[in-house]
Structure 1
Amino acid sequence: MNGQLNEKPFPELIREVRVSRRSGVLRLSQEKVMKAVFFENGLPVFAISNLKSEQLGELLVRIGKINREDFERASALVKANKGKRLGTILAENGFIDQAEIIPVVRQQVSEIIYSLFEWETGEYIFDEKVRADSDIKLNTFTPEIILEGVRRIKNESLIRAIFNDKGRKVQPAKDPQLRFQGVNLLPAEAFVLSRVDGPLAIEEILAMGGLPENETLRALCGLVSAGIIEYCEPIRDTAQRKTAARTSTNQQSNGNESEAKIREEILRTASFYNNADYYEVLGVTRSATPDEIKKAYYSLAKKFHPDRYHRSLEVDIRSKLETIFAKVSEAYEVLKNSEAREKYDQKIKAKPGATESAPPPPPTVSDSTAQKAASTNAKWKEKIQDNAGQKEKTQPNVPPPRSSQPVPQPQDAKPTVIVTKGQALSPAQQADLTFKRGQVFLQEKNYLEAVQMFRESVRLIPDNVQYRIYLAQSLSKNPKWFKEAEQQLLKASELEPYNASIYIRLGLLYKQAGMPKRAEAKFRDALSIDPTNRIALRELDTNKDEQNQRSDLKSLLKSDIGTIFSKLFKKK
């Protein structure tokens, strides 16, 4: 196994070694830089580098474990005592406590491996005869190392090069040990994994939407490299990839429509979707099979995916396009689930004009305004009751609990709002009204509309903590809205600094986003306010074993790094 990295990038190399469970050393070189990763049964356990900045002593100085003077004195002692490792010298002479060395060595090894994910050029060769001569080995779960390495790739073109052939199919790993690994996935990675429920082409996964194309490809790259998802057929060689990429590009160019026709179709479809049910949105009958629904969804998702048109459309047209795509995705999410579909069928059973025929063609653009108004009025007719002659009745805002009870969820009962007919509402009344609308949308899992409602409530009454909490809860449903969800909860914590439930929500948000250290800090903040908080205690307890792990520090390395390099990279 040897070759060039521009033909087989490092993520694919580590995937291949992992899936085949090989043992040995993968040597990589780029001009004068040389690195090596040691594997045992497909798992990376150790790594070395000839870069000065990646040596143990430099890392200890950089992170403040020792100062430069101590490092230089220890280096001189290493030269005078050949055969002794730097770590041993440092510990024996009191420059650093032995307990602090092993985690730094593991950090050093991890950083060397992470750096290789960004190598675009260089040579590699795998030698199955060599083993790691070290008592310190990585204790981090291997798939998480691989996923983190892919997350750190800055050059998106490197990831795109891996998936040049959009027609290639992937599927969940057949090996249960690879498929069910209990990895801590980021929301984007979990989202993509949930969509790959069988053999799917890369282009089909991209067409599903929900994430920008670059985020979807990065998540796919991590999942495939970690072995959680696998290719349905062997990897093609470079010539086949380039041919497939050219074919895909030509097909896309030949399929481009004129901008005028695109705009016309977007406007016509957006108008039609205003009053369309989910079956009409997908263009299928109510007796359609799951396969027919799936095919209809893929076709529409590919046709109306916002990323397909990039920035060539005006803002208002692109906004309509995003609405169409969201509606298509929403329809598919309901109709693909048998239970959700049955409930939806019951909901629309009494709808006038319901038939088993295929839906009518979209109406003309000129009908859109009237249809949108009719749709809006009908939508809220059942949710807002007018009571002439009465003052507005609203439910008082109940602040989040400050006790150790679980984080509150929205009430099951849909709120009813009674407003005075013909009377102007104050900002507080408007905020309360939009808040209750947002609760309805949240209960219906219509998170986009819920976010819009709660944003309006926050805009009207910025100091209302409950509004911000509900807005953050809705935003947390989409990984692209993470930053805004975090900002809302941080602002809420400023308004009510002694509300433990806000810190719990922040901790859970960070945990969901794959930020364990931030999550732990927020759970501890909650405990400082409420020492008996069950959620905080439970979440912190899961990390206890990792914090208590300690290794035997008597022997760090059995041979000198320089000696290892001379053996690994010597000319034959």
Structure 2
Amino acid sequence: MFVERRYFERYTKETVFYLKIDNKSFEAKMIDYSLGGIGIIVKGMPRVGKGDVIDIAIKSPDISISGQVAWISSHNSGLRIGIENIGQIGGYIKDFRFSDTLIGLQRSQKTGLLRVELDKIIKTIHIRKGDMVFSASNQDEDRLGNMLVRKGKITPQQYAYSVARMKKKNQRLGKVLVSLGYLMPQELWKVVIQQVEEIILSLFTLKDGWFVFKEMPLPTAEVITLKLSTGNLIYYGIKKINNIEHIINELPSLDNILYFSSDPLHLFQDIKLDASGKKIISCTDNKSSIQEVVSASQLDNSEALKTIHALLSVKIAVTKSKDSFSEIPKDTREEILKGKVDPEIKYMVEDLYQRYKKLSYYELLGIQDSASNPDIKNAYYKAAKKFHPDIHFSLEDISIKKKLNQIFSYIHEAYTTLSRPYKREKYDNSLGIKPVLTPSRLDEARARFEEGRIQLRQYNYRGAELLFRQAIYFSESIAEYNYYYGLSLVKQKKFRAASHAIAKALKHNPFNADYMAELGIIYLELGLQKRAKGLFGKALEIDPEHILASKGVAKILKN
């Protein structure tokens, strides 16, 4: 949970509990939690450090883990602590969405057994490097023979005879059915896949029960290994839920706008969308609310809501408030609906795998070193779709998955570097590339700056910070860009970084009283009273009635 890439979904919930540290009890409050760990605020100043192991026991949600302190920061009432789960992954289905659990295990590429229990029902999913490859159940209706009889593939008499033969010969039922001529090998394979999928799909209808993931090598005696798409099973698992009240309770407000995810890893999963899914995708425009998409789809209301819930669960779609900003390439919808794998992809993967580490980020994405942010994003989406890890489901070669994962990670690394001005500048310097100020770059800078101001007014300080950074990258000598960048940092209490930003603004505009006063206030926060006093004095020389500078002087005199 507390590493750079979070694999498991984080849930926000505040719960008061008591924490024991050094045999002393401290009142604590949980802020958020996931299968990867929890975030808490502890009252007082307990003696705790990074790397310490703490046992956590919370009643609601029911969480009992052994956790390691990943980070600590000060808080108004004590300490804010991030704790990483170092024990088994598990919990109650009511507290952790099953789809999020499967996605987390896939993203973290874990291997082991996921066991789900409810009363006397026990079902197990075999997971290899994040992919579901088999499942088992203790329920009679899930057994292969009963399933074959239900589907009319064999008669009850043939099933009974096959079971007797299986016990006598000590062979698998499938092998006996084929040897007796009841099934062709191809038929058996299809039915086994259906059986395994139906066991997994049935788990999505559970409202209660608990689960635990045991990380371990898979049993070598299990000769059947399937390739099952996590996204596909989640999508159709959600659609098996017939309780529309449950679906509505799981959905956010129907007034929320439905967006496409901005993450290609989610967008281009191996999911065979049904007609309803394609209809909802075609009606999603990043502008319409859930209710408006439902109306535009002309689907039955419950079918439309169920489909939207499924798309949200696999994270192809996301919801945000009406003030949120999201931008993805224009042809994303068409690319999702197309869903075809290039027949030459195996050779493309092999070729790129041999040389990708020798390519620059620009060469990897197929763009010029002067490319704009939209060009970088378009190239990223194109490359991410072509070399998405889920492509391995369409190929026979099992070694392809590892190669795709490595290529995709490098593509993602290229994008995160080139799309962030400060990282791109550092990378360009390492290549000896000097940014050239052209009219298009100046326009790009102004556009990023104006969008940053919008985000700042909407209290999205982190988003504003990133946009102001981008503006500075394209045109670093504009004082206003550096000043607003500093303001976005102040709002996040990043005072030292803010002081550097506004000092740069003053360097480009040395007689601006507003910049001086703001920097003076920041210096007060940093305890640099002498520097602050000097700046307030200079600001008041320029503008004797400057309000912020006057307040700063009054604050110094009061102290």
Normalising TM by the smaller chain, what interval? 0.3 to 0.5
- Normalising by structure 1, we get a TM-score of 0.36
More strand by share: 2
More helix by share: 1
- Normalising by structure 2, we get a TM-score of 0.37
